[in-house]
């Protein structure tokens, strides 16, 4: 752990990414305290008001404060990211561990299923599935999670294939450890470092997908604030209200960049091939 922190702290971009992620996390938790206005409060006297002292980021076409909606939108984006990645990681770990540990016909069947899933354009699959479901935040999180586990499964499979032939696994098998004990107590704990990096990077991808779906009108539904549906209002008023597009767009850009920097920093810090 000490070696990890030494490497991580030397990567300034990763540290900046971590600080941004932590700031967003705190903002999402304390949204009710940090939000200057009710994010859904309509005020016809302040429709499309530009950034100023009363509304630092301006207002939308219903007079709602953009800063407040951005703060509450951070909650939605982070919730989607964490829950969707949690689902995809659990599914990927389970299928990848079974495939890598047992091998043979089980491995061939599971990996061909992964190949089939990878051959389907994920975003269009999302559009098709959500079109048949009610566009709610929970449906979006579940669908994103269930359509993004394939990379994790392949990663876990490769790690399990390597770990099951190492000395600690052979020793555990020699003293009579069963399959479940071998997988969950001995092999998976020694294969989780790459999965952690994949999960961090996956949060950024999930946030992008949620924003895109909300922008298209089939994601988080109004009046619930989301960076994506704030952008939709910006698209409709882009010629007269630039702030509706610029601020949520920057929020998405900075958040995704921060998670990518953090994930890359973690990967570089746990890579045993790097010198201290």
Domain limits, the chain: 2-37+56-270
Q: pTM for this one?
A: 0.86
Residue 271: the pLDDT is 65
| C-alpha to C-alpha distance for 163 and 170, rounded to whole angstroms | 10
What is the Cα–Cα distance from 171 to 161, expressed in whole angstroms?
A: 16
Which tokens in the block code for residue 138? 């929970």
Would you identify the CATH topology of the domain 2-37+56-270? MetI-like fold (1.10.3720)
Ordered DSSP codes for the chain: -HHHHHHHHH-HHHHHHHHHHHHHHHHHHTHHHH-SS-TT---GGGTTPPS-SSSTT-B-TT--BHHHHHHHHHHHHHHHHHHHHHHHHHHHHHHHHHHHHH-HHHHHHHHHHHHHHHHS-HHHHHHHHHHHS---HHHHHHHHHHTS-HHHHHHHHHHHHHHTTSHHHHHHHHTT--HHHIIIIIIGGGS-HHHHHHHHHHHHHHHHHHHHHHHHTSSSPTTS--HHHHHHHHHHTTTT-THHHHHHHHHHHHHHHHHHHHHHHHHHHH-TTS--
Tens digit of each residue's pLDDT, the chain (276 residues): 667 778 888 888 999 999 999 999 999 999 999 999 999 888 888 888 899 888 999 998 888 999 999 999 998 888 888 999 999 999 999 999 999 888 889 999 999 999 988 888 878 878 887 777 777 788 888 888 988 899 899 999 988 888 877 777 778 777 777 778 787 887 888 778 888 888 998 998 888 888 888 888 888 888 888 888 888 888 888 888 899 889 999 999 999 999 999 988 888 887 655 544
Q: Which residue has the tokens 């600690």?
A: 168
Per-residue pLDDT at 228: 86
pLDDT value of position 276: 43
Cα–Cα distance between 13 and 128 in angstroms, integer? 38
Q: What is the dihedral of CA 101, 104, 108, 111, to 10 degrees?
A: 10
């Amino acid at each position: 752990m000490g070696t990890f922190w030494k490497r991580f702290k030397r990567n300034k971009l990763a540290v900046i990414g971590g600080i941004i992620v932590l700031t967003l996390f705190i903002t999402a938790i304390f949204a009710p305290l940090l939000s200057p206005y009710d994010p859904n409060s309509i005020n016809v006297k302040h429709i499309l008001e530009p950034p100023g002292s009363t509304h630092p980021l301006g207002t939308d076409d219903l007079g709602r404060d953009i800063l407040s909606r951005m703060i509450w939108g951070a909650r939605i984006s982070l919730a989607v990211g964490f829950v969707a990645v949690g689902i995809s990681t659990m599914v990927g770990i389970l299928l990848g561990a079974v495939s890598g540990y047992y091998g043979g016909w089980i491995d061939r069947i599971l990996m061909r299923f992964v190949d089939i899933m990878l051959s389907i354009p994920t975003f269009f699959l999302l559009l098709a599935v959500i079109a048949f479901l009610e566009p709610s935040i929970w449906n979006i999180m579940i669908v994103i999670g269930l359509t993004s586990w394939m990379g994790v499964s392949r990663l876990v499979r490769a790690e399990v294939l390597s770990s099951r032939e190492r000395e600690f696994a052979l020793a555990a098998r020699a003293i009579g450890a069963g399959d479940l004990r071998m997988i969950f107590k001995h092999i998976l704990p020694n294969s989780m470092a790459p999965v952690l990096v994949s999960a961090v990077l996956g949060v950024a991808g999930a946030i992008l997908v949620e924003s895109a779906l909300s922008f298209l009108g089939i994601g988080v539904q109004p009046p619930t604030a989301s960076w994506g549906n704030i952008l939709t209002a910006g698209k409709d008023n882009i010629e007269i209200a630039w702030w509706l597009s610029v601020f949520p767009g920057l929020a998405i850009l900075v958040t995704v960049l921060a998670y990518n920097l953090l994930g890359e920093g973690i990967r570089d810090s746990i890579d045993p091939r790097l010198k201290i």
